[in-house]
Amino acid sequence: MQNRTLKPGLFIAYKQSPVRKELIENPSDRPENYLLWGLEGYRSKGFCVMHNLDRLETPLESRINRTINKFLKLFGAPGGDWMTIIRNRRAINGCDAMLSTVDNVGLPAVILKRFGVINVPVIYISVGLPEQLQKIRTGVARTLYLRSLKRTERFICYSTVEREHLKTLLQRNGKTVSFIPLGIMTSFFNPVPAAERQWDIVSIGADPMRDYPLLTQFAGKHEALKVLVVTSANHSYVKKNKPENLDCEFNITLEEVIGRVAAGKLVVLPVKKNTYSGATTTLLQAMCLQKCVIVSSVGPIQNGYHLNSGVNCIMVEPGNYAELEGAILSALSDEPLLERTGMNGRETVLRNNTWESFISRTANLILEVIGEREPSCKPNIHPDQNAS
C-alpha cells in the first residue's frame, strides 16, 4: 500500500541561462517568471519540485558538451546539454518524473535514458523537434534518436500541426502525444490606454522563424511610417538592412517590451512557414494588451487558439508581401477595427490562454504519467535540493 503522505517528485530540466539562475536566486513577481515554466505553479499543485538551476555549468562541463555536440554535428544530429542530465542524474532518478522544457535537455535525457542513465518517466515538451530530426544525415544517428524518442513516455506540443508530425514520425497514438495550448501570465499584460504612440508598427520576437526581411521590405517602401523591431542579435539582417524609419532594439527586458507594444498603434508578426512556431507567445501577449495584431496564418496557430481573422486578430498568408502590405495599410487607416480587434483579442486570451489553465493541464498530464508509481519526494525535503 502506498504512503500517501509523500508528495509526487518532479524534476524540471531547463536550458541553463544567467537569467533563469537569477530568477531562482532572487524570486520576485515579474513577467520573466514564465522562463521558469511554472516552477511555483507545480509546487502549488502538490509536487515536490527539483531542478537544474542550482548552478551554471563549469568550464570543464562546457568543454565536454562542446566536444560531444561537435561530434554529433558531423552526422547532422542535434546536440544539447549532456552534462546537465549527467550531473543531476541522481536527483532526476530520485523523483517520479522529469519534465523537459526544451530540446536542449530533452534529447540528452531520452538518449541517456536509453542507456540506463535515467530511469524515470520523461515528459518531453517539443518545440520544433520534427525539424531537428529531419536534419540528421546518417541512418545510424537517425535510428538512435528515433528509437530513444519512441521509448519516451509522453510528449507535449504547443501546436496541433507539430503533434500530428510527431505522431507520424514516432508512430505514436494521440494519448502519448498531446497538444496543450500555451498560456501567458495575463496579470502582467494589461492595456495601457494612456501610452503615447511612438510607432505605427511594432514587431517583437527572437524566434528564427520570424520573417523580418518581409517587414524590412515594407518599411523601406513606406518611409512615412515609423516601425520598431525588438529582437535578438541572431536577427542581424534587420540591423544591417534597416531603412531610416525602422528602429531596432535588442535583448531588452519583458517589462520594456510591454512598454514598446503599448507605444505602438499596430503589432505585426510575420512568420515563415513551419510546424512549431506561430509567434504564439508574443501573439497572445499582444492580444492580452488589447492590441490589434497582424500575424502570418502558419499551421501552429490555425487550430487550437480560437483565432478568427478580422475578429480577434488579422491573419495573412506567410511570405505573401502584397497581402501583408494591404493588411497593414488597411488596419492603420481603420481606428474602429484596431479597437474592436484589440478588445476581442484580449477577451479571447483571458478566456482560453491563462497561465493557470496551462499549468493545470500540464500538471494533470504529469500525474497521469506518474500513475501508480510510488511517490518519492518527502514533504520535508527542500524542493530546490539537488543531488550531485
Q: Provide the residue-wise pLDDT of the chain in tens; the chain has 388 residues.
A: 344 457 899 999 999 998 999 999 998 888 999 999 899 999 999 999 999 998 888 999 999 999 999 999 999 999 999 999 999 999 999 999 999 999 999 999 999 999 999 999 999 999 999 999 999 999 999 999 999 999 999 999 999 999 999 999 998 877 899 999 999 999 999 999 888 999 999 999 999 899 999 999 999 999 999 999 999 877 888 888 899 999 999 989 999 999 999 999 999 999 999 888 889 999 999 999 999 999 999 999 999 999 999 999 999 999 999 999 999 999 999 999 999 999 999 999 999 999 999 999 999 999 999 985 555 554 434 434 443 3
Does 347 lie in the same domain as 202? yes
Does 359 lie in the same domain as 322? no
Does 173 lie in the same domain as 91? yes
d(CA 332, CA 201): 9
Domain membership flag for residue 386: no
Q: Which of 200, 197, 312, 205 is nearest to 259 (CA)?
A: 197
Q: Name the residue range of residue 113's domain.
A: 9-183+354-370
Domain membership flag for residue 377: no
Contacts of 70 (CB under 8 A, 6+ apart): none
Does 363 lie in the same domain as 310? no
Domain membership flag for residue 380: no
Domain membership flag for residue 82: yes
* Cβ burial 294-319 (10 Å sphere, 16+ → b, else e): bbbbbbbbeebbebeeeebbbbbebe
Does 362 lie in the same domain as 348? no
Does 96 lie in the same domain as 195? no
Does 308 lie in the same domain as 166? no
State how many domains the chain has.
2
Does 290 lie in the same domain as 255? yes
> Which burial class, exposed, middle or buried, applies to 282 when counting CB atoms under 10 A from its CB (0-12, 13-18, 19+)?
buried
Asked whether 308 and 271 are in contact (CB, 8 A), the reply is no
d(CA 331, CA 267): 10
d(CA 242, CA 248): 8
Domain membership flag for residue 381: no
Domain membership flag for residue 379: no
Does 201 lie in the same domain as 141? no
d(CA 232, CA 107): 25
Q: What is the CATH number of the domain that holds 194?
A: 3.40.50.2000
